[in-house]
Amino acid sequence: MWAKCDMIQTVGLARCDRVRSGSKDGKRLYKVYKASPGFLKDVRSGLSIYLGIS
């Protein structure tokens, strides 16, 4: 996984649960990912650095 911490966007959590990965037989396919606590900590750190808050 990766995070781009210099592009901040507010979205609803309901929109963050699945990633569309195409379709098969006319049906949409989605993948579900789960971020680890360590990854989320790194994202928060990156956002803090970008925003200039510690």
Q: What is the mean pLDDT of residues 38-50?
A: 91
pLDDT for 42 equals 93
31: phi then psi, degrees, rounded to nearest 5: -115, 145
- 6-38: per-residue pLDDT in tens? 888 887 777 677 888 888 888 999 888 888 899
Between the alpha carbon of residue 24 and those of residues 2, 17, 29, 32, 54, the distances in Å are 27, 20, 7, 17, 46
The better pLDDT of the pair 54, 23 is held by 23
| Residue 19, helix vs strand vs coil | strand
5 and 47 in contact (C-beta within 8 Å)?
yes
Q: Domain locations in the chain? A: 17-51
Tokens for 12? 């609803």
